[in-house]
Amino acid sequence: MGVVKSLEKNAAGNRLLILASAILDDLEIGASVSVSGACLTVVAVGEREFAVDVSPETLSVTTLGGMGAGAPVNLERAMKLNERIGGHLVAGHVDAVGSIRQRRQEGNSIVLTIEAPKEVLRYCVPKGSITVDGISMTTNHVTDRTFSVVVIPHTAKVTTLGLKNPGDTVNLECDLIGKYVERLLQERGQLPPNPAPVIDRDYLQKRGLI
C-alpha cells in the first residue's frame, strides 16, 4: 500500500503525489503503476514518493477524484511476461465504481458484498474473476445488483480491502477475456449489440458528472 500525499487540480492538469516504499526500487519516469486499479504513468520519482499525472476522465470515472491527503491506495508495478500470474490478467482500465453494501466476518476472512452497475455485473459469474481496487478477486455470489468476494487475512493486511466498510467506494475492472469473447460473438451476429446507455441523472451521478 501507499498513501496519497496530495492531489493537485489546476488548469494545467491534475497531479497525484503518492508516498510509497516497496515499489520504488528501480522505478523510472514513464513506468506504469496501478494505483487502486487505475493504470497511471510515473512522471516524477523521489526518495520516498512518486508522482503521476491524472486525466480529468480518470478522475471522473474512478475513486481517485475523491481522494485527499492521507488516503491509502493499493500499488502494483506492471507485470513482466516471464513471471507467474498470481491472479488473472488485469489491464488497469477501470470499468466502473462500485459501492460496499455489506461487510461481515466469516471465520478468519471478511466477506464484502459490492453493488455494481449492470455493465460490470454482466461479466460476473460465480467463481469467476474481477478486479477490486486493483486486486484480483474471485466472485463467490452474484445477484442482479451485487457480487461478493472473500478477503483472506493476508489480503486484508496488505491492501486497502481490509479497511473498507459499508458505503465506501471501489474501482472495478471486469474480466478482460469475458469482454473480448462478448465482442467477438457480437461481431459474428451471435449476440445482440450492447444497448445504448440511458443518460439520466442516476447515470451522471454514478460517474461523478453532477
pLDDT digits (tens, 9 = 90+) for 148-182: 999 999 999 999 999 999 999 999 999 888 888 88
Do the two domains 2-77 and 96-206 of this chain adopt the same fold? yes
Residue 57 burial by CB count (10 A; 0-12/13-18/19+): exposed, middle or buried?
A: exposed
Each residue's pLDDT tens digit, 39-69: 999 999 999 999 999 998 898 899 998 899 9
What pLDDT was estimated at residue 87?
74
178 touches 186 (CB < 8 A) = no
2-77: which CATH topology? Elongation Factor Tu (Ef-tu); domain 3 (2.40.30)
Residue ranges of domains in the chain: 2-77, 96-206
Query: Residue 168: what pLDDT?
Result: 96
Other residues' Cβ atoms within 10 Å of the Cβ of residue 158: 13
Residue 36: predicted pLDDT: 96
- Measured in residues, the chain has a length of 210
Q: Would you say 32 and 78 are in contact if contact means Cβ atoms under 8 Å apart?
A: yes
- HSE-CB for 121 with a 13 A CA cutoff: 16
| Confidence (pLDDT) at 192 | 62
Sort strands 96-106 and 169-173 into parallel, antiparallel or unpaired.
Answer: antiparallel
Q: With a cut of 70, say whether residue 12 has pLDDT above it.
A: no
Residue 94 has pLDDT above 90, yes or no: yes
pLDDT of residue 1: 95
Kindly indicate whether the domain formed by 96-206 is annotated with CATH number 2.40.30.20.
yes
